Structure 1
């Protein structure tokens, strides 16, 4: 990630703020999945995305010099992290204008495909 951000800065001359969020250990699957899965957990991802939208991002915007509009706000992750990031971006397009999606765990629930079809997806 750090090399990709270095390249991004060199190619675009833009500075970025990157915020990493640790997972809850044994609650990782529940935190990072928005839908219930009988085998893996009960999907409490709305709590996670609500925390980012209602608490974390406002704190960052108030305490750091940011461009706080959606077009300058990106969410991302890998594996379950990208599943919840993709979900969060579609659920909150007024907050997240971009999503970094690599190695997504879309296998977790077929509801992911239905949810994606219901939402307007920015193809950029």
Structure 2
């Protein structure tokens, strides 16, 4: 798949293809809530067979949820590691560029409680 020039820009800067690193570096960037899918991301990483690293950047709205996903991350295989940054202090574009893939498994926000906003 080829991107047109207008599709290959993030934050005003061109995207550049580069070979993935070893370990593959994944970035989860966003609020740490069940809706954003961090738990599912960690569960999927349990099945990865090659070296991988997940960086989690974002604020937790619920301390119990954060403890829960951190405990789940402790069960990951030895070849999968996780870094918890909290709020990202560097620019988002720099953070994204320093990783191989941005993980964004947000669940749909369309549902019975949001119908009035979608009319």
- TM-score, normalization by structure 1: 0.30
Report which of the two has the higher share of helix: 1
Instruction: Give me the TM-score of the superposition, normalised by structure 2.
Output: 0.31
If asked which structure has higher relative contact order (CA below 8 Å, sep 6+), I would say 2
- Richer in strand (by share): 2
